[in-house]
Structure 1
Amino acid sequence: MVLYMSISRQGCLGRIRMGDIDECEFPDVYDCYGAVGGLFIVSLLLFITLLRREKRKTKEFFEKNGDPILEKINNIKLFKKDDLKPILRSSNVKGKGSFDEVYKGRIGDNNQLVAVKKPIYVNLPKKDQFANEVIIQSRVIHRNIVKIIGCCLEFDIPILVYEFISRGSLEDILHDFKRVPISLDQRLHIAAEAAEGLAYMHSKTSITILHGDVKPTNILLNDDLVPKVSDFGISRLIAVDNQHTMSVIGDTSYMDLVYFQTGLLTDKTDVYSFGVVLLELITRKKASRFDNSSLLRNFLDAHTNGKTVIEFVDEEISATNDLELLVSVADIIVQCVNLDVDKRPEMIDIAERLNYMAKRARSI
């Protein structure tokens, strides 16, 4: 039987060579080849169609998210979607806010440790607004400001990639699960350097940059407790005709009442918010505008009535040998939250005063 089949196949091949295909004993083999070939062509056409559709969709994302503008920035990287997919997993989530969640991961040929910020809600931004935010952060290069590494435009909402800051936020170490003991000189050091970052934005760049949402969750800390101002979602380049906004955004517990009522955003708006942060830093209590026992209101009432600041100060630092330091910090807080905007100090002056206090605290 084996010999017979072998001969039959040879005969079939012989007849094929002579052109007598119709008489071949195995026509189904060639029908199969034709079907496979047709399926391959259909699959190839479908693949090309899907590839073109994906490219068109990607191009739309790029145009919508300001790619023509961002291409001109040479100190940030435009990442591909595939670069971020391994990081954007639930197991890598390190924090979650009202508007976005942050993932920790490594990226690039050098395996750099980064924080990837992904918006939670699909609220399509205007391309100029997003591009403006990236431009702001690419211009701000300072040791007390979180560095932006790049972004990815291949999503409905563009995703930002930052340097990873190890200790989390000031909110974490003051109030949450990462709460740790902090000495007076460490607190003044954190306050002074955070003020340095904001002062740089306000006074030491070619165009004034406002943050607009200064609060403990937006001040990150590295292993050495060096603060880095972060989250520039509300931030904007100041322009003479563009200081007012109809949509006041931010945490009202730290928000300047003047800004809240008028929509006028100025450098003194950040000063007010910083004053509330400074109050939290020395008291280790949460500020809340909607709490009947509002920390700021009670502090201002006590200050007005000539009461000592010690009753508000965190017990970890209340036993200092230099009570005058705490009194000086209290004076800065009161000046920062003054409802008369013109009487608030400049951030650069606040930074200088806090730096002096931090050095003095170290020598105690």
Structure 2
Amino acid sequence: MGHILVLVVAAWALLIQQQAAIAEEQHDELRPITLPGCPDKCGDISIPFPFGMIPGCFREGFDITCNHSFQPPRAFLAYREGSPIQATTFSFFSVNKTSGNYSLVDKANGPIPPVELIDISVAESDARAYGPVAFVCNTNATGGILMDTYTSMEFLVDSPEGPFLVSPVRNVLVGVGVEVQPSVSKFNTTGDRDDPLTSCSSTLNGDLQLASNGSCTGRGCCQASLPGTRPLTGVTVSMPPKTLVNNLWVTNPCSFAMVVQNSWYNFSTADLYGDTSNRFPRGVPYVIDFAIRNASCPAKGQQPPPGYACVSGNSSCADVTNGYICKCLEHYEGNPYIPNGCQGVIGGFFVMAALLFVILLRKEKKKMREFYEKNGGPLLEKANMIKIFKKEDLKEILKTRNLIGAGNFGEVYKVLLDNKLVAVKKPKTGKVEHNEQFANEVIIQSQVIHKNIVRLIGCCLEVDIPMLVYEFVTNGNLEDILHNNNAVPLNMDVRLSIASQSADGLAYMHSRTSNKILHGDVKPANILLDDNFMPKISDFGISRLIARDKEHAEYVIGDLSYMDPVYKETGLLTEKSDVYSFGVVILELISRKRSTYYNGNNILVSNFLEAHKEEKQLIELFDNEIADTSNLELLYSLAKIAVECLNLDVDQRPSMMDVAHRLLLLNRLRNL
């Protein structure tokens, strides 16, 4: 009987849903999206205010050109001097077949078209547009053509901060090729390449069978997140010419790279073969954030200023980067930028809907309980050191406004929880291996209390992949501090202190806990810094228990630019693997050069090991900011420790305890 009741309720619910959809569609036809008398369509694209196509129908900077020479017509951000553009630079190169080195022969600028829109979402305060694709192609065995792309969102000459920014959260850098290392840098109007904001690397080492469809982890396809530390008013995608090996230009002549909407591109091994320079003739979709710039929301009770954009009576204002956006209030939909634009959502058949809600709620609670038990909840209940958060506790945290970072592992949110700033890590996809092992790992990490290790506060188990709650560290990570364009000055004392205290944290994990903890992914991005530049080690232990998919679990986990070659070859993680990675971190601290992995070789490590044979050459690799006479002896000592950590003979590497002790002595001598 109960089963029949559920079927009846489900049938009624479907009927309600269909009727509500019809009513909502009719309502949408009457709901305005732009000002009275203004056109709201360009071909198949809706044009909501503040966008518009004729004078008086748009806010300044939001004007659209509807090009009727296409069928159907296409919408573009209005093109004039200083408006959003997408340009290309072609370079012809020649390759020395013996050495593999290349040289640029000629250079020419491509067309500078306006930005073509795909769609606009007022509710999400973003738009999608077609972006250009960079490529490098070999036209013969000794030469080829290279195209870099430039995308600028700087709208007005007199107001460089226009309404548009390239979204750092909803876009990623993707590179595809047999051997490719694309990078993204800040848009430069001169056409010169700035230091990269992010990059990725893909290599197959001559074995094309290593690539597999749907996998973008560095084997034929690579992916990197865009930095979210500052506004992106434009980006440049650069492609260095690849090395020619065994005449691969015949079957694999092209590689390409793009800034593209996250999850839009699905890698296919077919993209490694043939001429792919015109793989995307209109470009690829990427996401643009828009806002009312150079202004802010009025304070509570304050009269809105002239030109205030949130004019609907049922709208609210939210501050964002260099401006604000308008939203409809909860239970309202529509356009908050026009009068009466936000209207109530249609409802009906409340009794049946409530009954359906109760059924779904019971199913959801059952599902949450299954997740809780699968993720080791009963075992964790017995541990007093760890706090178990309910899914409801974290529901309001997982909002776009709280997102502070995203990467291959997942997303990170910053929020005030129980009157403490915390970082909540939400894995993207995957599964938890061995619930008891996961629970034990959580218990072990919750008991790790050290000033140089980020503390695990709690977790949420009522979801498929557990969310982890950590203490929040205020000053970002060491990678951003060292290498971003807005990197801050770091004197010798600060760098030595960062190295010494980071080593102490790792040594504590290896030797001073009841259960030895191996990190497995030591790198500057996983060394967080507080306001006083005191380092805290993060992202260790649990990440290895959460496999994104079966294929991912078969490979060693970590960043190739910092990975111990022995660990890469054997897949066996030891404390000496962390020692090797920490040696690379020391090199970055004293050189302020980014560790990069290319063609099976770590460039920074190779340069230091070669120069270490003759100390006179070492000084050329030190950061000029600290390479003065008073620091040279200390820099040579740090380089020596790093070189010992990088020894390919694992048994000859020092322990992390030894490294920490030596760095502590250097720090004390420095302060005498």
Spell out the pairing of 1:262-301 with structure 2 (5 A cutoff): 262-290=570-598, 294-301=603-610
What CA distance in whole angstroms lies between the structure 2 residues aligned with 1:236 and 1:90? 26
Q: Secondary structure of the residue that 1:356 maps to in structure 2?
A: helix
Spell out the pairing of 1:20-169 with structure 2 (5 A cutoff): 46-108=356-418, 111-120=419-428, 122-126=429-433, 127-169=435-477
Question: Equivalent residue for 2:653?
Answer: 344
AA at the equivalent of 1:81: K
AA at the equivalent of 2:395: K
In structure 2, stretches of 5+ residues that fail to align are 1-349, 546-552
Q: Secondary structure of the residue that 1:103 maps to in structure 2?
A: strand
More strand by share: 2
Quickly say closer, same or farther: Cα 1:307–1:129, change in 2 above 3 A.
farther
Q: Which of residues 167, 170, 183 is equivalent to 2:491?
A: 183
AA at the equivalent of 1:173: I
Shift of 1:268: 0.5
What CA distance in whole angstroms lies between the structure 1 residues aligned with 2:403 and 2:531? 20
Q: Secondary structure of the residue that 2:612 maps to in structure 1?
A: helix
Q: Which of residues 540, 558, 568 is equivalent to 1:260?
A: 568
What CA distance in whole angstroms lies between the structure 1 residues aligned with 2:598 and 2:366? 48
Spell out the pairing of 1:213-232 with structure 2 (5 A cutoff): 213-232=521-540
AA at the equivalent of 1:334: V
Q: Secondary structure of the residue that 1:301 maps to in structure 2?
A: helix
AA at the equivalent of 2:529: L
Q: Which of residues 337, 359, 363 is equivalent to 2:668?
A: 359
The question of whether the paired residues in 2 share the 8 Å contact of 1:116 and 1:161 is answered with yes
The question of whether the paired residues in 2 share the 8 Å contact of 1:211 and 1:236 is answered with no
Question: Equivalent residue for 1:335?
Answer: 644
What CA distance in whole angstroms lies between the structure 1 residues aligned with 2:543 and 2:475? 24
Question: Equivalent residue for 1:193?
Answer: 501
What CA distance in whole angstroms lies between the structure 2 residues aligned with 1:228 and 1:149? 15
Shift of 1:360: 2.7
Shift of 1:44: 6.9
RMSD: 2.2
Spell out the pairing of 1:198-213 with structure 2 (5 A cutoff): 198-213=506-521
Which range is displaced more, 132-141 or 58-67? 132-141
Answering whether residue 625 of structure 2 is matched by residue 316 of structure 1, we say yes
Shift of 1:310: 1.4
Quickly say closer, same or farther: Cα 1:322–1:47, change in 2 above 3 A.
closer
Shift of 1:43: 6.8
What CA distance in whole angstroms lies between the structure 2 residues aligned with 1:252 and 1:293? 8
Summarize deviations over 1:283-307 as a string: whole Å, max 9, x none.
Answer: 0000112167801101101112444
Choose 1 or 2 for highest CA Rg: 1
What CA distance in whole angstroms lies between the structure 2 residues aligned with 1:320 and 1:162? 42
AA at the equivalent of 2:510: H
What CA distance in whole angstroms lies between the structure 1 residues aligned with 2:444 and 2:397? 25
Shift of 1:212: 0.7
What CA distance in whole angstroms lies between the structure 2 residues aligned with 1:145 and 1:293? 27
What CA distance in whole angstroms lies between the structure 1 residues aligned with 2:354 and 2:410? 39
Q: Secondary structure of the residue that 1:321 maps to in structure 2?
A: helix
Shift of 1:154: 1.8
Q: Secondary structure of the residue that 1:209 maps to in structure 2?
A: coil
Q: Which of residues 552, 556, 559 is equivalent to 1:248?
A: 556
AA at the equivalent of 1:278: I
What CA distance in whole angstroms lies between the structure 1 residues aligned with 2:661 and 2:415? 36
Shift of 1:232: 1.5
What CA distance in whole angstroms lies between the structure 2 residues aligned with 1:273 and 1:318? 23
Summarize deviations over 1:221-276 as a string: whole Å, max 9, x none.
Answer: 00011100000256779xxxxxxx95311001100011110112111010000000
TM-score by length of 1: 0.81
AA at the equivalent of 1:348: M
Q: Which has the higher contact order (CA 8 A, sep 6+)?
A: 1
Q: Percent identity?
A: 60
What CA distance in whole angstroms lies between the structure 1 residues aligned with 2:485 and 2:465? 31
In structure 1, stretches of 5+ residues that fail to align are 1-38, 238-244
Q: Secondary structure of the residue that 2:597 maps to in structure 1?
A: coil
Which range is displaced more, 173-182 or 200-209? 173-182
Q: Secondary structure of the residue that 1:213 maps to in structure 2?
A: coil
What CA distance in whole angstroms lies between the structure 2 residues aligned with 1:320 and 1:273? 28
What CA distance in whole angstroms lies between the structure 1 residues aligned with 2:412 and 2:629? 38
More helix by share: 1
Q: Secondary structure of the residue that 1:247 maps to in structure 2?
A: coil
What CA distance in whole angstroms lies between the structure 2 residues aligned with 1:178 and 1:199? 31
What CA distance in whole angstroms lies between the structure 2 residues aligned with 1:96 and 1:355? 34
Quickly say closer, same or farther: Cα 1:232–1:247, change in 2 above 3 A.
same
Q: How many residues align?
A: 315
What CA distance in whole angstroms lies between the structure 2 residues aligned with 1:314 and 1:139? 38
AA at the equivalent of 2:639: A
Spell out the pairing of 1:9-28 with structure 2 (5 A cutoff): none
What CA distance in whole angstroms lies between the structure 1 residues aligned with 2:629 and 2:384? 49
Which range is displaced more, 216-225 or 155-164? 155-164
What CA distance in whole angstroms lies between the structure 1 residues aligned with 2:558 and 2:575? 15
Q: Secondary structure of the residue that 1:113 maps to in structure 2?
A: strand
Quickly say closer, same or farther: Cα 1:146–1:177, change in 2 above 3 A.
farther
The question of whether the paired residues in 2 share the 8 Å contact of 1:271 and 1:347 is answered with yes
Q: Secondary structure of the residue that 2:630 maps to in structure 1?
A: coil
What CA distance in whole angstroms lies between the structure 1 residues aligned with 2:445 and 2:486? 27
What CA distance in whole angstroms lies between the structure 1 residues aligned with 2:518 and 2:544? 6
List structure 1 segments (4+ residues) > 4 angstroms apart after TM superposition: 42-48, 233-237
What CA distance in whole angstroms lies between the structure 1 residues aligned with 2:617 and 2:437? 46
AA at the equivalent of 1:339: L
Shift of 1:119: 1.1
